[in-house]
Chains A and B, each alone.
Chain A
């Protein structure tokens, strides 16, 4: 109960109190100290210094990129398992503050551990053979990657339970390459952005990705009467708009568009797998100036916006198409390039086909988790296909657009529009979309009824709160 703690979020205080007493923090902390002492002692021998440097960074990497971030997998899930989450949501803490607090506490513990590394870096510098500035920059990038990986783990945390927890364990190593790819995109962006703006561009994109991972968890835990989809989808629109703006300035020919897709992916997955909550107050006319403002969008405009922004999978499918179209048109992608078309179409299929399979084969199961399982399956399949040249270039991989997408993303040399696979991808993606649209009729009907009920509430003078 000290004064400093009063300046922090209650969630951060609580998580730090718990986290720093837990074995999952204390054990890595003590192991790091021990290992660093060993490293310094071995560094006394000048011939061993190069090997020590390699070991030092390998060990630091394991700690900062694996051991500490993956503690986040149990964070929100732990509150759900212990049935304390609802108690938190009944206080003044919003779902967003709960998730952000979890992430912040984990990241602060990482910072503490990283700061404990610094004396050893300096000691090794004085012993000689160490590029101090270079090591500090490497440590900085490890911390950036840690922040992103921790956000990924915290964002996925509410979905990981029971059998799915086992899947998460399989999936976890798969996350790393995805983040690495996105980091590579960021570094490519850094390469095209001149001088002092590089760091700024990187610092803008990292937090946006972290924010979009937060939203994934927030949407899952928010009470039924509250809706996050409007904020999330507007955030996705803002990210696309920012990518378009940066593209207009730097002319990277689609690199910002690719990065934007990585950033909005968690939001799109959340949108296509969510269900429309049966709460009429969430379906009233939009209030652009916040939930407490009196001015609402005119009816037809609000209705049109609702086709993309209302919560639920039915609108989420159209929203995903809208985002892909916007990215294709504004991010400088060369639409005359057949590879761009192949990636766009198989990319849409990579979102829609797992959703279709989830809805057809596992209708009663959690859509998000089932979607994720299918996507991981296709990702693994793509890795297997990419091993042999015959399979990699065979049209059979195009039967599953997600496999086709991953293969073409990582292999620029593969055929694009001039093989039968292209027509298969087009047909299967369009077929998936058609079946999903047909399957969404019931949800659209429900949304229509809820909108009518919301109008009745509005005309009856009942306040309709949005964006809570």
Chain B
């Protein structure tokens, strides 16, 4: 396995996530779709540097002579925690919008803000 399966799955996930962000009207679902997009980027980065029969990127781990490429792992490690925090912040903004407009429907919120502007 040279990683193309992982990349193919990442492309599919990216497509699903992007479609979710664009087509779904519910803000919470949009955020979940954004999380799927983020996961696809992580899966893609890790899959792109797959090395056949590689061991963990630890010195002296022994068993296999080939070591997995540590760079993509280093790139995605902190990204996972940051994504969690940023997603939480986005969810807070959604909560504030829901408190004000009593709906998670982005079209309705859009319409009401336009009405407010017109008034």
Chain A partners chain B: no
Residues of A bordering B, CB below 8 Å: none
